[in-house]
């Protein structure tokens, strides 16, 4: 087994003696710097591939400060302020924002700003308001507001501090380091900036013969990350495009699309087109417009890198807006590699499944930053947690490489951590070698997740900030987290795809999320074509699984528009007069492996069963899990599915049952112990058995050597696994 | 102190020896029979007022069976059934209904029935469907439905068994009693039935010289109470009018209103115009139409009673639809008395506050039925619970009389219970005597509850079935339950009233309930006039208290349309990108008496505070209680308010604070112990101090002998009270 390769380590200056030993121990074949560290001179002697971070849109502060008109902007909304009984209303638009990060852009403000009556939704005519002051003291005065109506100002603002560098600066207390400055960015749409970006990349490449890989961190437009007046995060949307605006871009958009966007198209009542909102036409147009611009300019930069004989690697995050790795323009860039932070199995698959890059790399957690690598920190625990989540996803679709980021000098102070990383690196390489570079076999069941975003947000649903926990998402994120390590082909499908007939060939459809979100679908379910497409799918023998508030929109006497298919609906107060007598169903294939009642997280609450549904788990009178037959097909309802082993098994079985394949489950290498999962490589004649828990585990795995589609004898394998162990089994 | 009067007891045959003793012991001055019992011959010798129940619309089964075309009807909806891929759809409309209670009325069904596509809301033309079979086997066939659309049939059906008599019959196992029949009703709109009703009442009165009070139980149309095919309750709406329909009535409506009602106007997508639905125009018209009809015919019956020299008493329940005691037509009836079941303080006030009756009587729980008066039953506990809830409401607005119902022969087998009832009767009489027949003083704070129903549903909000617990209502019912015993003048106001300026003079406005219900208001809050009327009220110094999901409808960037006033809003998924840093506020006047964190019941969840709001109680990151200032006024938010002593105190203080009267609280006879409440009668120079708990209680009460509006020295009274004790204090 190789003890070297597929691993990238961050290195830095001042560790020359230690570096060769550490690299060798972990089998690293590539090194990199990080934001705030520099490659040491010894790098060339290490005999490894060299990455260097590159910041095309903020790398040169001299240029940035000389071209403040090239700074990027964002659209922001003022606080909501009620008008008095009579007289003018003054709105201090910067209230709640940080002057170090944000300053209003007064250029042509009557054209770019908007004052809106939030009681009626009406726009206030431009001659009805005026602006006074500037910077943090900018005030908009509405001369004659409607008494007691609430108003806001949508304003364009300069980004006077790059959001990621600001985060790193404040997290690492760089205010105490006189060598650090607050970095300012520049916008690729600005003609001089764009010329500068290209030339400086050419120069940079020429000056660095040692560098093999240009690690773009990242490109032009930051996801929306705005801080409050106390320099704490105020608004974070990892998918937000409201920091990608500029008059130049808006003018270009108008010319191309034939209509002008309004400030409100970005502000969106203050929701800023959160991915939880069903995307409207103008926002979709803007995404398309910016994605074409960004990918074309990224391609130009990648071409420069290639001309210099180097590889281009993109960091999946930070100023990544407009790259849309699952969009139609990404593959055309010719990007060599994508690297991203692995916060979970789902984020791992989000990286490894990107179709348009030559190879993928996962940057594992914890990041070598002092917030974890400090006394009382638990880097070992974080490494284990991260690995256990990632391993099952890697087993399904391997990342090509793994790595770490941050300050190696911090990590080496934790020898237990380094020892564990060594094991992880070896385990990772074994998956590639023993699996013979192939993907493990999937069950013969095609799964589709339907929502408003479809494939554009493959493995990206329900996320607010990258891999962070939010109360309203964890019960749904668990679904993709579970799927990231389950043996199914999963595809993401938009409602439009469904209407266009994409369900053809799909076995089981999932609709997951809270009511009125883009992931559940909200008003989309008022469309008879969508509803009947799903009902037809099930009626003709297909499966449907709804989690949370699937197909939810109140209309025509139902809240779940496919309540008849799901066998459940939600009480929203209007049908309390209907008496209900829920009776728990006994044992069932779907719930057979639950060791205790499924944790449905926030659940959906107040779910009632309809005639004929099997209520597999009740919480008081509310249904947590139900199974139903509709026509020739089957449906399953689950109130919520936070990620854990039991819930993963619940979903695993639910998919088999909904697909009508429950009889095959026991012979498809599905471990009897939910803590243990199996990836089968029939061509290699091997199976990877993984104990996902930190306790020892016993299990039995049964299957045919020929795989799930093959024939022949079913052989049982009894196994005892150590905590967290993975073991390769000969079939 | 009188030991006699103001008490009604049910009596029955076979207890002649016991009756005088029991009546004397409890001080009863009136007796009655119940549904299923008859007054004994000894009644005339008891020296008490005599009530006898009277059933105008089902009292004579001979008539009923001879006039089956006079039976009342209801509008019912079939199950929701999906159409197949092709071909016809058959709907078994009686599935889920009980043939003993319901049979389809086939008369002119093409005119009165409706088949609806519940996927689109479209009505299927009458030539698109046909009916076959009859009774329990009635099938509607839709010849060419849209594939995979869901359909329902709205059908008119005969009520073949009176709903209340059915309930009594099944609860008391009368199927084992050969003397019992299943009673059928008759509709007062049927000309012969109406003639018969009048004449038979005249005859009945003439035949009963002993009877002083005709206890109508009740009149013509039952609240909606439909049973399922297992004879269990299927649909219960204590305010439902869907059992008040008939072709005669619908024709009369059309003639008067100039438009025809559709079946769907009653079916309402299957919600049957639940009081939780914002009432639409057609339903309001029907209520008005039937109320005028019912009250006019009730008046005719009451006139007959008066002509016979008797009093008319109405039971508030059962076939009470159309009487609307808080509507504009009730007072014109000339009803002598209203009697109702006291399930709580709120139901007590619902009876005692009716403006149009000469006197009120509360029928206390438990009802003397074998479901409670059996081995293992706890009639004493139920009596105490009922009395503790009712007493504080009675202290605010006394019922004129109290009483019991059911089988006295059952109750006398529980001597502890009878002893307790004796105490209760004495305590009740004392309130009248020592309070000198006056109402206690209210705080100088006018409170208005605003919702879609306004005064028509005074003390009747959030109720599904009379005084029963439902998961989705108890957190809101607690508000009116608390108010029923608090020293405030409370009025109910519709949104239309608010728009018409009725807030003038109101100090504190309450909006209480779950989003999208008529009690919170739903779409009503899209109206700028409504929103600004409230904002103006607070801005100019008024108070506003929102409980649950007040002013909730998603629009223009807010969920609570008065979020700026309340200082809180609810996260519905779209603004998760906004970071929140809730900080709990320290001590506050509003929460000063909470002995543990307020139990907000189902709460509202995911409530976040806005700038400036004081977050008085947090549950994780979600706000349970908040206080906010807006202009010259104040607002309070509470996530839910199930009834208990601490929550009552929380609301009590919240109202004082919102009214800006917090400085007066301590000198307004408000007990320091939340278990203890006080009713002050300044004119009588007395205060009634009530220990609402079943434990002993210490408290201090401070106030001026001249009352809350008076002047002079504030005197403190320290008290030690026994469990449940009430004590009269000389001021």
DSSP result, A611-647: TT-EEEEEETTEEEEEEEEETTEEEEEES---SSHHH
Q: Is B277 helix (H, G, I), strand (E, B) or coil?
A: coil
CA A135 to chain centre: 34
pLDDT at B437: 81
Q: What is the mean pLDDT of residues A200-204?
A: 97
Establish if B630 touches chain A: CB-CB under 8 angstroms.
yes
Give the total residue count for chain B: 731
pLDDT at A113: 98
Question: What separation in angstroms does the CA of A698 have from each of A213, A347, A672, B691?
Answer: 44, 29, 9, 61
- Give the range among A307-311, A647-651, B705-709 with minimum mean pLDDT: B705-709
Q: How far, in Å, CA of B533 to CA of B448, rounded?
A: 14
Establish if B577 touches chain A: CB-CB under 8 angstroms.
yes
Q: How far, in Å, CA of A222 to CA of A238, rounded?
A: 9
Q: What is the mean pLDDT of residues B447-452?
A: 98
Q: How far, in Å, CA of B509 to CA of B538, rounded?
A: 9
Q: CA of A231: which chain B residue's CA is closest?
A: B579
Predicted confidence (pLDDT) per residue in B92-101, tens digit: 999 999 999 9
pLDDT at B362: 96
Contact A528 B146 (CB under 8 A): yes
Q: How confident is the model at residue B603 (pLDDT cuts 50, 70, 90)?
A: confident
Active-site residues of B, by number, are 318
Q: What are phi and psi of A648, to 5 degrees?
A: -60, -40
Residues of B in contact with A79 (CB under 8 A): 611
Residues of A in contact with B95 (CB under 8 A): 611
User: B12, B83, B72, B1: which is closest to B46 by C-alpha?
Assistant: B12
CB of A354 within 8 A of CB of A315? Answer: no
Residues of A in contact with B84 (CB under 8 A): 539, 631
pLDDT at A436: 85
Tokens 């009984």 sit on residue? A85
Of the partner residues A147, A269, A579, the one whose CB lies closest to the CB of residue B233? A579
Cβ under 8 Å to B: A residues 596-625: 606, 611, 620-621
Residues of B in contact with A232 (CB under 8 A): 579, 581
Q: What are phi and psi of A714, to 5 degrees?
A: -90, 120
Contact A271 B233 (CB under 8 A): no
Q: CA of B270: which chain A residue's CA is closest?
A: A557
Q: How confident is the model at residue B666 (pLDDT cuts 50, 70, 90)?
A: very high
Share of residues in chain B with pLDDT > 90 (%)? 93
Q: How far, in Å, CA of A275 to CA of A240, rounded?
A: 8
Cβ under 8 Å to A: B residues 227-256: 228, 232-237, 240
| Number of helices (H), then strands (E), in chain B | 17, 35
Give the total residue count for chain A: 731
Please tell me the number of Cα atoms within 13 Å of B108 on its side-chain side: 8
> And the tokens for B279?
């009432």
CB of B489 within 8 A of CB of B531? Answer: no
Q: How confident is the model at residue B670 (pLDDT cuts 50, 70, 90)?
A: very high
Q: Which residues contact B176 (CB under 8 A, 6 or more apart)?
A: none
Establish if B194 touches chain A: CB-CB under 8 angstroms.
no
Beta-sheet strands, E only, within A139-281: 139-142, 150-159, 213-216, 224-227, 233-237
The average confidence (pLDDT) of chain A is 95
Largest CA distance in chain A: 86
Residue A118 Cα, gap to closest chain B Cα (Å)? 5
Q: CA of B520: which chain A residue's CA is closest?
A: A573
Q: Is the pLDDT of residue A370 over 90?
A: no
Q: Is the pLDDT of residue B1 over 80?
A: no
Q: How far, in Å, CA of A168 to CA of A177, rounded?
A: 13
Predicted confidence (pLDDT) per residue in A102-137, tens digit: 999 999 999 999 999 999 999 999 999 999 999 999
> And the tokens for A69?
């008109």
Residue B86 Cα, gap to closest chain A Cα (Å)? 11
Q: CA of A471: which chain B residue's CA is closest?
A: B606
CA B274 to chain centre: 13
Residue A117 Cα, gap to closest chain B Cα (Å)? 9
pLDDT at B2: 75
Q: Which residues in A611-622 are b (16+ Cβ under 10 Å) and which e?
A: eebbbbbbeeeb
Q: Is the pLDDT of residue B35 over 80?
A: no
Residue A226 Cα, gap to closest chain B Cα (Å)? 9
Predicted confidence (pLDDT) per residue in A26-57, tens digit: 999 999 988 778 899 999 999 999 999 999 99
Residue A576 Cα, gap to closest chain B Cα (Å)? 7
Q: Which residues in A311-325 are b (16+ Cβ under 10 Å) and which e?
A: bbbbbbbbbbbbbbb
For chain B, first and last CA: distance in Å?
19
Bridge partners for A584 per DSSP: A615
CB of B295 within 8 A of CB of B322? Answer: yes
CB of A23 within 8 A of CB of A43? Answer: no
pLDDT at B47: 92
CB of A713 within 8 A of CB of A667? Answer: no
- Give the range among A279-283, B55-59, B300-304, B347-351 with minimum mean pLDDT: B55-59
Interface test with A, best of B238, B283, B548, B574 (most A CBs within 10 A): B574
Of the partner residues B228, B271, B558, the one whose CB lies closest to the CB of residue A557? B271
Of the partner residues B146, B536, B621, the one whose CB lies closest to the CB of residue A148? B536
pLDDT at B438: 87
Residue B531 Cα, gap to closest chain A Cα (Å)? 8
pLDDT at A605: 87
Q: How far, in Å, CA of A32 to CA of A8, rounded?
A: 7
Q: How confident is the model at residue B173 (pLDDT cuts 50, 70, 90)?
A: confident
Q: What is the mean pLDDT of residues B672-684?
A: 96
> What secondary structure letter does DSSP report for A684?
T
Q: What is the 3-state secondary structure (H, E, C) of A558-611?
A: EEECCHHHHCEEECCCCCCCECCCCCECCCCCCCCCCCCCCCCCCCCCCEEECC
Q: How far, in Å, CA of B179 to CA of A433, rounded?
A: 87
Predicted confidence (pLDDT) per residue in A269-308, tens digit: 999 999 999 999 999 999 999 999 999 999 999 999 999 9
Q: Is the pLDDT of residue B36 over 80?
A: no
Q: Is B199 helix (H, G, I), strand (E, B) or coil?
A: helix
Q: Is the pLDDT of residue A1 over 80?
A: no
Q: How far, in Å, CA of B274 to CA of B28, rounded?
A: 39
Residue B137 Cα, gap to closest chain A Cα (Å)? 19
Higher model confidence: residue B323 or residue B35? B323
Q: How confident is the model at residue B467 (pLDDT cuts 50, 70, 90)?
A: confident
Q: What is the mean pLDDT of residues B6-16?
A: 94
pLDDT at B38: 87
Q: What are phi and psi of B25, to 5 degrees?
A: -60, -40
pTM greater than 0.90 (yes/no): yes
The residue annotated as part of the active site, out of A268, A318, A599, A662, is A318
Q: CA of B121: which chain A residue's CA is closest?
A: A556
User: A291, A224, A198: which is closest to A253 by C-alpha?
Assistant: A291
pLDDT at B181: 92
Residue B225 Cα, gap to closest chain A Cα (Å)? 9
> And the tokens for B202?
């005249």
Q: How confident is the model at residue B396 (pLDDT cuts 50, 70, 90)?
A: very high
Q: What is the mean pLDDT of residues B209-231?
A: 95
Of the partner residues A118, A579, A620, the one whose CB lies closest to the CB of residue B235? A579
The average confidence (pLDDT) of chain B is 95
Of the partner residues B272, B517, B575, the one whose CB lies closest to the CB of residue A573? B517
Contact A82 B606 (CB under 8 A): no
Q: Is B575 helix (H, G, I), strand (E, B) or coil?
A: coil
pLDDT at B268: 98
User: B368, B457, B486: which is closest to B417 by C-alpha?
Assistant: B368
pLDDT at A160: 95
Cβ under 8 Å to B: A residues 508-567: 514, 516-517, 528, 531-532, 535-536, 539-540, 554-558, 563-565
Residues of B in contact with A563 (CB under 8 A): 80
Q: Is A537 helix (H, G, I), strand (E, B) or coil?
A: helix
CB of B110 within 8 A of CB of B155? Answer: no
Interface test with B, best of A98, A115, A148 (most B CBs within 10 A): A148
- Inter-axis angle of helices B247-257 and B281-307, to 10 degrees? 110
**How many other CB atoms are found less than 10 A from the CB of residue B212?**
17
Contact B574 A532 (CB under 8 A): no
Q: Is the pLDDT of residue B42 over 80?
A: yes
pLDDT at A190: 97
Q: How far, in Å, CA of A239 to CA of A222, rounded?
A: 9
Q: What is the mean pLDDT of residues B432-437?
A: 88
In the A/B pair of chains, how many CB contacts fall below 8 A?
Answer: 192
Q: Is the pLDDT of residue B596 over 80?
A: yes
Q: What is the mean pLDDT of residues A499-526?
A: 97
Q: How confident is the model at residue B638 (pLDDT cuts 50, 70, 90)?
A: very high
Q: Is the pLDDT of residue B168 over 90?
A: no
Q: How far, in Å, CA of A106 to CA of B236, rounded?
A: 62
Of the partner residues B82, B277, B558, the one whose CB lies closest to the CB of residue A574? B277
pLDDT at A467: 82
Residues of B in contact with A557 (CB under 8 A): 80, 118, 152, 269-271
């Amino acid at each position: 087994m190789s003890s070297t390769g597929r691993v990238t380590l961050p290195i830095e200056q001042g560790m020359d003696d230690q570096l060769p030993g550490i690299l060798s121990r972990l089998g690293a074949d590539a090194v990199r710097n990080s934001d705030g560290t520099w490659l040491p001179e010894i790098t060339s002697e290490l005999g490894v591939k060299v990455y260097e971070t590159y910041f095309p849109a903020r790398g040169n502060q001299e240029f940035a400060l000389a071209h403040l008109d090239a700074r990027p902007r964002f659209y922001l909304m003022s606080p909501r302020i009620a008008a008095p009984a009579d007289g003018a209303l003054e709105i201090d638009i910067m209230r709640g924002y940080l002057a170090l990060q944000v300053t209003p852009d007064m250029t042509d403000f009557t054209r770019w700003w908007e004052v809106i009556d939030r009681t009626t939704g009406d726009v206030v005519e431009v001659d009805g308001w005026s602006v006074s002051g500037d910077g943090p003291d900018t005030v908009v005065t509405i001369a004659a507001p409607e008494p007691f109506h609430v108003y806001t100002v949508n304003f364009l603002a300069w980004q006077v501090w790059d959001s990621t560098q600001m985060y790193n600066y404040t997290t690492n207390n760089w205010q105490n380091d006189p060598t650090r400055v607050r970095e300012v960015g520049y916008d690729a749409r600005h003609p001089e900036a764009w010329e500068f970006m290209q030339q400086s990349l050419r120069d940079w490449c020429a000056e660095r013969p040692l560098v093999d890989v240009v690690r773009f961190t990242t490109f032009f437009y930051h996801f929306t990350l705005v801080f409050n007046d106390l320099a704490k995060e105020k608004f974070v949307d990892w998918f937000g495009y409201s920091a990608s605006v500029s008059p130049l871009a808006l003018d270009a958009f108008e010319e191309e699309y034939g209509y002008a966007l309004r400030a409100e198209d970005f502000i969106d009542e203050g929701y800023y087109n959160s991915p939880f909102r069903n995307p409207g036409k103008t926002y979709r147009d803007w995404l398309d417009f910016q994605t074409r611009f960004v990918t074309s300019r990224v391609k130009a930069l990648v071409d420069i890198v290639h001309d210099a004989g180097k590889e281009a690697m993109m960091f999946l995050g930070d100023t990544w807006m407009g790259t849309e790795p699952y969009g139609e323009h990404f593959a055309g860039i010719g990007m060599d590699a994508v690297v991203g932070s692995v916060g979970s199995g789902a984020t791992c698959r989000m990286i490894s499944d990107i179709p348009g890059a030559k190879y993928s790399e996962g940057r594992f957690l914890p990041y070598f930053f002092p917030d974890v690598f400090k006394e009382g920190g638990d880097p070992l625990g974080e490494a284990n947690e991260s690995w256990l989540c990632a391993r099952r996803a890697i087993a399904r679709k391997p990342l090509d490489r793994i790595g770490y980021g941050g300050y190696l000098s911090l990590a080496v102070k934790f020898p237990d951590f380094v020892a564990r990383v060594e094991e992880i690196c070896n385990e990772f390489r074994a998956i590639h070698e023993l699996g013979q570079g192939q993907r493990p076999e999937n069950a013969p069941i095609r799964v589709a997740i339907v929502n408003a975003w479809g494939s554009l947000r493959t493995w990206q649903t329900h996320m607010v900030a990258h891999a962070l926990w939010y109360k309203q998402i964890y019960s749904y994120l668990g679904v993709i987290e579970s799927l990231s390590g389950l043996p199914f082909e999963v595809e993401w499908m938009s409602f439009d795809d469904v209407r266009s007939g994409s369900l053809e060939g799909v076995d089981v459809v999932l609709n997951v999320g809270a009511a009125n979100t883009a992931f559940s679908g909200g008003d989309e379910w008022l469309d008879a074509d969508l509803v009947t497409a799903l009902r037809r799918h099930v009626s003709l023998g297909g499966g449907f699984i709804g989690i949370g508030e699937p197909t939810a929109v109140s209309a025509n006497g139902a809240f779940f528009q496919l309540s008849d298919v799901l066998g459940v609906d939600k009480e929203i107060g209007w049908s309390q007069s209907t008496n209900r007598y829920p009776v728990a169903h006994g044992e069932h294939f779907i719930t057979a492996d639950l060791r205790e009642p499924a944790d449905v997280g926030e659940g959906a609450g107040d779910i009632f069963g309809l005639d004929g549904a099997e209520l597999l788990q009740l919480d008081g009178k509310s249904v947590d899990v139900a199974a139903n037959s509709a026509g020739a097909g089957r449906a399953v309802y689950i109130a919520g599915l936070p990620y854990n082993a039991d819930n993963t098994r619940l979903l695993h079985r639910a998919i088999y049952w909904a697909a009508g394949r429950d009889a095959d489950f026991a012979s498809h290498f599905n471990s009897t112990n939910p803590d243990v999962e199996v990836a089968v490589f029939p061509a290699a004649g091997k199976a990877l058995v993984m104990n996902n828990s930190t306790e020892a585990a016993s299990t039995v795995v049964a299957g045919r050597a020929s795989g799930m589609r093959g024939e022949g004898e079913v052989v049982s394998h009894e196994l005892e696994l150590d905590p967290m162990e993975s073991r390769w089994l000969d079939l």
